Amino acid sequence: MQTVTLKVSYAPFVRSSDSIEKVMYNVAIALAPATVLSIYFFGWRALVLTILSVVSCIGFEWAVDKIRGREQTAALDGSAFVTGLLLALNVPSSLPYWMLIIGAFVAIVISKHLFGGLGYNIFNPALVARVFLLISFPVAMTNWPVPFGVDMETAASPLGVLKTDGVAAIQDISLWHMSFGQIGGSIGETSAIALVLGALWLLFNRYITLTIPLSFILTTFGFTGIFYLLDPLHYASPIFHVLTGGLLLGAFFMATDMVTSPIALRGQLLFGFGCGLLTAIIRLWGGYPEGVSFAILIMNALVPLIDSWDLSDKKQKAKEEAK
C-alpha cells in the first residue's frame, strides 16, 4: 500500500471558494449589529472611534506592506478592517483618540507583521492591543461612560461593581438591560442580543462552528455556577457572567480566529475549555474584574502545543489502525 505523507499547517491553507476578503467582510457584517447599537448607546464618539480605529489599522497595514515591498491591495483584504473594528469595540467610548491610534499600531505592526503578517501571528492582534492599552493606560481603559449619558457621565461596569461592591450591589441590574446592552462597558460588548445575532450570521454561513464558543461559554457558566450554588451571597449567578463583560464578544468573534485557534475538534474543545476556565478564575479571584482578553491570549500561546498533542496522537492512532 502506498504511503501518502500529508503536511498539516496553519490557516489560511485550505483551497476554498471563500477568499480572505469574503471571510473578513462577512465578519464585519456580523459585527454590524453590535456596532450600530454601540453608536445608539454611546453616541457620536463611538462612531468616531470606530472610524478612526478602522482607518488607522488600514493605514498601518498599507505602510508596513509598502516597507516590506508587498502588494498594496493587502491593506484592503479586510483583515485590517476587521482588526480595527474589533479594537474599537473593545475600548470605552471615552478613550482618547491618540491612545486608540497607539493601539492600532500595536495590533497591526507589532502583533501581526512582526510575526510575519496574516496567517503567521500567534496572538489575536486586536486583543493584544486591548491588553496593551489596559496595562499602559488603566484609568482611561476602565473609565466607562454610561449609555445615553450626558457630558461623558461615567460609572463602573457591572463586573467592576461586582468586584468592588459585591453581589448585593448588582441586584438592580435587570436581565433586559444586560441582554439589550444598556449597561457600562466596552462599546461593542454590552449587547448580548446584537452579538448573538452576529454570531448566527457567521454560523449560518459556516465561517465559524459552535465548538469553541460553546465550550468557552459553558465552561465559564458551569464554573461560576458551582460557586454561585455554594454561596449565592458572595458569588454572582452564571447568567450574569455570560451576559456582562466581553464573554460573548470574545467567544464568538475572537477565540474563533482561524489563525490563532486549534485546527482539529478535540483541540478546539480543549482551547474553549481553557478560555472559559481562565476567564472564570480571573473574574472570581483575579485583580481585574474581567478576564476574557487575558484568557484568550494565554490559550493562543498554547495553541501550538495543543495542535502538536492532538495531531501527533491522531497520527499515532492512524499508524496503529493501519497495522
Read off the pLDDT of residues 269-317 as tens digits, 9 standing for 90 and up: 999 999 999 999 999 999 889 999 999 999 999 999 999 888 776 666 6
DSSP 204-216: HTTSS-SHHHHHH
The yes-or-no verdict on residue 7 having pLDDT over 60 is no
Q: Which domains, ranges and CATH numbers included, belong to the chain?
A: 20-309 (1.10.3430)
User: How high is the pLDDT of residue 168?
Assistant: 92
Give the cell for residue 266: 478535540
Look at residue 77 and give its three-state secondary structure: coil
Residue with the bigger pLDDT between 84 and 184: it is 84
Residue with the bigger pLDDT between 313 and 35: it is 35
The yes-or-no verdict on residue 74 having pLDDT over 80 is no
> Any idea what DSSP says for residue 40?
H
Residue 219: what residue type? T
Kindly state the percentage of the chain with pLDDT values over 90: 72
Q: What are phi and psi of 207, to 5 degrees?
A: -90, -20
In terms of Cα–Cα distance, which of 158, 144, 123 is closest to 290? 158
User: How high is the pLDDT of residue 162?
Assistant: 94
DSSP helix, strand, coil percent of the chain (3-state; round to 5): 65, 0, 35
- Rounded CA-CA distance 267/303 in Å is 8
**64-91 average pLDDT score:** 86
User: How high is the pLDDT of residue 82?
Assistant: 95
The yes-or-no verdict on residue 194 having pLDDT over 60 is yes
User: How far from chain centre, in Å, is Cα 97?
Assistant: 21
Task: Give this prediction's pTM.
Answer: 0.90
